[in-house]
């Protein structure tokens, strides 16, 4: 599930007439950076929700011939993180799936991050398994982190006025049951993560590469510079 329906307001003026997932980094649209990773990890079906500049995004996605792409249409109403997921759940037929924001970009470490998530996933003990970037291994991220993680991978929220070592990089495996009891319509997924934490069923895995937090125009430039420095001469 690729979340691509946001308004991209922090990325303006680049998103004045363009959805954020189509902003390019080193000549490739953000959403294609993500789709390429998913295809490499063996994904054969991707559901993409659309709202802002939906026609442009749909036209772009039709060019992909290496994976089946289905559209979850939110033109009439933007459903937020939880509502967008809930509307699309029927596509996954009760099976766990990758849940990824369509604008996240990372550099791999020693191994594929998505393959490591797949290997770590245990549906018997987990409702969600998040890919977390150490805050010190990020580009353009200046927040206070999102989670603490214990030795077994259990996640907990950051108490107020504390700084956490890990930030969720908008990549996870979800089991559909995490949204059991969801109201439908427009809602956030955050309360359902909190319920999973209370049940001891929200886990994390550390990225061993570098995550780029591309949320504003200058972050595009900084990320391109970072990637250029990594490229072979």
Domains defined for the chain, CATH in brackets = 2-230 (3.90.550.10)
What's the rounded mean pLDDT across residues 181-189?
91
pLDDT for res 217: 93
Q: Check whether the bond before 13 is cis (ω within 30° of 0).
A: yes
pLDDT for res 215: 87
Cα distances from 63 to residues 13, 59, 85, in angstroms, run: 25, 7, 24
pTM to 2 decimal places: 0.93
pLDDT for residue 161 is more than 90: no
pLDDT for res 32: 96
Structure tokens at 14: 């680049």
For the ranges 20-29, 32-41, 154-163, which has the lowest average pLDDT?
Answer: 154-163
pLDDT tier at 203 (50, 70, 90 boundaries)?
very high
Q: Residues 53, 91: contact at Cβ < 8 Å?
A: no
17 vs 230, more confident = 17
Maximum C-alpha span of the chain? 53
């Amino acid at each position: 599930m690729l979340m691509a329906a946001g308004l991209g307001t922090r990325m303006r003026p680049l998103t004045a007439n363009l959805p954020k997932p189509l902003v390019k980094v080193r000549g490739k649209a953000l959403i294609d950076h993500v789709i390429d990773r998913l295809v490499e990890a063996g994904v054969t079906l991707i559901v993409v929700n659309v709202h802002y500049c939906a026609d442009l995004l749909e036209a772009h996605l039709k060019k992909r011939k290496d994976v089946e792409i289905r559209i979850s249409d939110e033109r009439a109403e933007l459903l937020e993180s939880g509502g967008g997921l809930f509307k699309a759940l029927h596509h996954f037929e009760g099976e766990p799936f990758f849940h990824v924001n369509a604008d996240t970009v990372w550099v791999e470490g020693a191994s594929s991050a998505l393959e490591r998530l797949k290997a770590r996933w245990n549906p018997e003990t987990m409702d969600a398994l998040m890919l977390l970037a150490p805050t010190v291994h990020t580009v353009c991220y200046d927040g206070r982190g999102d989670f603490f993680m214990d030795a077994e991978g259990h996640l907990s929220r950051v108490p107020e006025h504390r700084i956490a070592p890990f930030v969720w990089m908008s990549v996870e495996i979800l089991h559909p049951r995490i949204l059991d009891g969801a109201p439908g319509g427009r809602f956030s997924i955050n309360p359902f993560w909190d319920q999973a934490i209370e049940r001891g069923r929200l886990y994390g895995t550390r990225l061993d590469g570098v995550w780029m937090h591309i949320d504003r125009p200058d972050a595009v430039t900084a990320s391109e510079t970072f990637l250029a420095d990594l490229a072979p001469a």
